[in-house]
Structure 1
Amino acid sequence: MIINTHTHMMRFGVDFPRELGEFYVRMFEGQACWHTGQPWRPEDFCVPPERLIADMDECGIDKAVVLGVGYIPWNAYDPNAGEYVQSMVEQYPDRLIGFYTADPIGGEAEVKRFEHGVQKQGLKGLKMLPSYNFVAVHDRRIWPLYEAAQAMNVPVLVHTGWSMMPGGKMLEYDHPLYLEDVMIDFPDLKLIIGHTGFHWAEEALHFMGKYRQVYGDFAFWAESAPVWRVAQIWSWAKKIGVMDRLLWGSDYPYVPFQTGQEQFAKVAGYAERHEIEPAITQDDVDSFFGGAAARLLGLVKEVGGGGSGTACP
């Protein structure tokens, strides 16, 4: 089973304003939009659910975790976005897994919306981008949301690493080791380190080694990191016993599924050719592309066969 754990579904003009789209257009300047072949337009960062499913079908992806956005300073947030995610999951119940995307410092009202999302709308986790809202991942104002997630036994995906977004202290606020404060106070929390800390990946891996219920996703790595870097990180993860908690995420629709499938499928061969030890096996690749996510999300009984993640033409 192939599972993508990091996809974003937004609605242009609702929770994804034109101003944010224009910022991303500048960030991707000189690149063609992968699904139109033309220069990026602000609205191209929002795709309809049927397009997501069609892209999943083309690439042999069985399931995807659907996230929203929560950039309050950019007005990229809708407190009722859980309903939109719920509607997509209800339309494609065997394909999509919905997470609630929160205002990290939204207080008790946001906790209630998150609880409603899980208990009434069938959502399976929480996504937060603290640094995008000018707060650190261990800001105590976020504690009520971490507490609620632990109480409901659902995972929390927290953005870490870096961002091109202006404002705030992105690098300082995004360090994955700040999440240790969270794990100390919420020892039973299931936590996903978004982007595995990017340039702080080694620190993130050692953090995962200490806390066995912590995972790391590789969203946007295929776009930003060379194969040799991924091979080094995976091999080190295997050496310290956390390879089985690394997750594939693409950051769709910013990055197409194909980019990650092609990039990550090269890692084992690269490691072998360059004698990087411990070796990366097919079992490791299968775990990365779906097995680890299935274990985290309680889908183990549904897993059948492998899945190299290379089905996309």
Structure 2
Amino acid sequence: MILDGHCHVASTDFVPRAFIEDVVDSMRRRLAAVGRAPAREALVDSYLAQHQDHDADRLVAEMDAAGVARAVLLVPDFGMVMAGRLDLAAMARRHHEIRQRHPGRFWVYLGADPRRGERGAREFADLADRYAVDGLKLYPPCGYSPSDPALYPYYEECRARRMPVFVHIGPTAHSLSFPFAHPLLIDRAARDFPDLVFVLGHGGVSHVDVTAYLALHRRNVYLDTGGFAGTPDGDWPARLNRLFRLGLNHKIIFGTDWPLNQLSGGMRRLLDRVVHGPEVFAGVPHGDRALLLGENLLRVLPPAPNRSGREAGAGAAS
């Protein structure tokens, strides 16, 4: 059984156009460096066309083809820096409807921004209970540290519900703030909330030396592999293999960051190369594969009894 701990619904209802245009501009700069940059308008139109899977039907089809039983849907809160079609409450409701449309296929981590204050924390708690949200999703490059004390009311709500906190780290859209995306910024919060699980999104790809250090020495810090296939040199199987041989496979959560790689052959091709290819798991103990491909995610999810339709998770740091 494969569980994907890092996905998004490819929909312009949830991803601001400004973010998509930022991604396109970054891509064009990389392509221009080798003399192959297409017209900006064509790239924007292509990305917008790829983000019309409003009910996650195409995502579920990709998961079925790839053998992915269930996935985490991340719902970032860009609202303080980029205008979007829906506010946070509407996005929470829509993701609840997606789960009803595809029973048993998704968990949802809902976004937040500490600049929304205590009222924002109360809204997050209300939405978490109303829609059985499974975790908190933070996007610090929007302009805040994940150890900002203004986030502590949110962390208290997560601790009460035994929900993990997922924190984006590493590069992002060029208009956002890179300094806030450094993984060491989580250390104060991890110490102040030792019984709350923090997952460093993209931690298996960006700042790996730092994220590995944190995961090894902070019992409540995990990292994920989101975006692993997005390396420009195409050497991601070897990179994953090095990651999986660092001795911290009990603290790594597998994630694809779909729809990031939908242009490279889809989820099935990606997972075939991970699971059945000769390189990714070379020299990795066989028992570690189950941890990496699903069991670690189940360990950090909230316990099942008070929420419907969820596999049991221990919700515990280790």
TM bucket, shorter chain: 0.7 to 0.9
Runs of 4+ in structure 1 off by over 6 angstroms are: none
CA 1:302–1:108 in structure 2 vs 1: closer, same or farther (change >3 Å)?
closer
Aligned pairs, number: 284
> Residue type matched to 2:163 in 1?
V
Tell me whether 1:103 sits opposite 2:107 in the alignment: no
Rate the CA distance shift 1:118–1:19 in 2: closer, same or farther, 3 A: closer
Match of 1:6 in 2: 6
Do the aligned partners of residues 251 and 104 (structure 1) sit closer, same or farther apart at CA in structure 2, a change above 3 Å counting?
farther
What is the match of residue 82 of structure 2? 74
| Kept after mapping to 2: 8 A contact 1:20/1:42 | no
Judged with a 3 Å threshold, the aligned counterparts in structure 2 of structure 1 residues 15 and 94 are, in CA distance, closer, same or farther, namely closer
Per-residue CA deviation, residues 165-194 of structure 1 (Å, 9 max, x unaligned), is: 3243x0x21121221100121111111111
In the alignment, residue 69 of structure 1 is paired with which amino acid? Answer: P
Classify 1:230/1:148 alpha carbon distance in 2 versus 1 (closer, same or farther; 3 Å): same
- Determine the C-alpha separation between the residues in 1 that align with 2:17 and 2:280: 41
Separation in structure 1 between the aligned mates of residue 53 and residue 286 of structure 2, nearest angstrom = 33
CA deviation profile, 1:135-168 (whole Å, cap 9, x unmatched): 2222222222222212221001000122233243
Q: Tell whether the 8 Å contact from 1:160 to 1:174 is kept in structure 2 after alignment.
A: yes
What's the offset of the Cα at 1:2?
1.0
Distance 1:146 1:270, change over 3 A: closer
Aligned to 1:290: 294
Which residue is equivalent to 1:254?
A: 260
Post-superposition Cα deviations, 1:274-313, rounded to whole Å, max 9, x if no partner, equal: xxxxx302322222111211222257x959xxxxxxxxxx
CA contact (8 A) 1:4 1:65 kept: yes
Q: Distance in 2 between matches of 1:17 and 1:248?
A: 26
SS in 1 for 2:123: helix
Please give the root-mean-square deviation of Cα atoms over the aligned residues, in Å.
2.8
> Partners in 2 of 1:216 and 1:260 — Cα distance?
20
1:151 pairs with 2:160: yes
Q: Matched residues in 2 for 1:9 and 1:183: separation?
A: 29
Give 2:127's aligned amino acid: G
**Residues 66, 272 of structure 2: 8 Å contact kept:** no
**Structure 2 portions without partners, runs of 5+:** 32-36, 39-43, 305-309, 313-318
Range that drifts further, 225-234 or 52-61: 225-234
Q: Tell me which residue corresponds to 1:84.
A: 94
Cα displacement string for residues 214-237 of structure 1 (whole angstroms, at most 9, x for unaligned residues): 22111001212632222222211x
Matched, 1:119 2:129: yes
Are residues 1:179 and 2:186 paired?
Answer: yes
Q: Aligned in 2, Cα 1:201/1:45: closer, same or farther, shift over 3 Å?
A: same
**SS of 1:40 mapped into structure 2:** helix
Preserved CA contact (<8 Å) 1:150 1:188:
yes
Structure 1 alignment gaps of length 5 or more: 33-37, 273-278, 304-313
The 3 A distance-change label for structure 1 pair 267 and 188 is farther
Q: How far off is 1:271 after superposition?
A: 6.7
Instruction: Measure how far apart 1:107 and its partner are.
Output: 1.3
2:227 maps to 220
Aligned equivalents of 1:292, 1:71: Cα separation in 2: 28
Structure 1 position 160 matched with structure 2 position 169: yes
Percent identity over the alignment?
23
2:293 maps to amino acid:
F
